Amino acid sequence: MRSLHAAAAILIACSSLYASQAPPVKTRGCFLLFEIGVGQVRERPADACRERVTPASTFKVPHALAALDSGVITGPDETLRYVPGGEWPESAQRDHTLASAIRHSVLWYFQRVAERLGPAREAAYLKKLAYGNMDATSGLTSFWIGGSLQISPREQQTFWLKLYQNQLPLAGRATDLVKSMLVQPAGFVVNAAGQQPFAPPWPANTVVSAKTGSAVDRSGARVRWLAGHVKRDARSFIFVSCVIGPPDLTANAAIDLAARSLRESGVL
């Protein structure tokens, strides 16, 4: 018996030593830029742009589309009541409409959307939208936050291109409403923490629509997203920014990468 206890102690010690010697998560990022009607403008670096990770709150865009298309949410002004409890950001601690829940990235609102949709419709809409690996099996109210649903930056770009070219197999009312809710205030993008400066000032006649995302992936890496659309005069662009790194990865890593890259590309 003593020998079994001794062996177990050695195994635990060795496991702890291995864990402490595990290599740290390396920060890596991807930025994609596509001009509608022209083609791919930028994809750097290509290998990172193929890596599937959690979509985090960028999934609120297809989630809102599914909610409106199915009728479980009737419109952008439908209000759900806040129930105190849990550790929510200050911006989430109040009643929210669909529009404000997208803007302030309110998780509890979309968890209730998921409950209204149910597992069968969640799975059906993922397949209908061909969104990432289309896997919602890890939990009805959490599959998009470090769960089974995974998507690459390239796949995000494909989804946003279909959205802004009106090619998604959904009711036009749903897509028009969601696009109107994604428009950002000039010089900023908004997330749960508030307004974040975004390459100000923008050129005249420029409209930016975007959605942020942040979560710990099932791999243990922190994932930051910013995906969106830029309309500048007659030109139209889709961009995707994704940064993967350690748990303490800078909160605005993807926002900063997108701002810098859009400046360098002459879009903003």
| Residue 26 belongs to domain with CATH number | 3.40.710.10
Whether 17 is in a domain gets the answer no
Mean pLDDT computed over 203-213: 97
**Number of structural domains, the chain?**
1
Whether 15 is in a domain gets the answer no
- Domain span including residue 218: 22-264
pLDDT at 23: 60
Output DSSP code: residue 202: P
Whether 6 is in a domain gets the answer no
Whether 122 is in a domain gets the answer yes
Mean pLDDT computed over 95-102: 98
Give the alpha-carbon dihedral of 120, 102, 89, 208, to 10 degrees.
140
Whether 13 is in a domain gets the answer no
Active-site residue identified among 15, 20, 57, 152: 57
Q: Using one digit for the tens of pLDDT, what is the confidence trace for 177-191?
A: 999 999 999 999 999
Whether 7 is in a domain gets the answer no
pLDDT at 89 over 90: yes
Whether 5 is in a domain gets the answer no
Q: Which two tokens stand for residue 152?
A: 């690459």
Residue 174, CA atoms < 13 Å, CB-side half-sphere? 20
Question: What own/partner pairs with CB < 8 Å and gap ≥ 24 does 161-166 have?
Answer: 161/34, 161/36, 161/238, 163/61, 163/65, 163/229, 164/36, 164/229, 164/236, 164/238, 165/36
Q: Is 152 a catalytic residue?
A: no
Q: Using one digit for the tens of pLDDT, what is the confidence trace for 229-247?
A: 999 999 999 999 999 999 9
Whether 163 is in a domain gets the answer yes
Q: Using one digit for the tens of pLDDT, what is the confidence trace for 7-60?
A: 333 333 333 333 344 467 789 999 999 999 999 999 989 888 999 999 999 999
Q: What percent of the chain has pLDDT over 70?
A: 91
Q: Using one digit for the tens of pLDDT, what is the confidence trace for 118-175?
A: 999 999 999 999 999 999 999 999 999 999 999 999 999 999 999 999 999 998 999 9
CB 255 within 8 A of CB 35: no
Give the alpha-carbon dihedral of 178, 138, 132, 51, to 10 degrees.
120
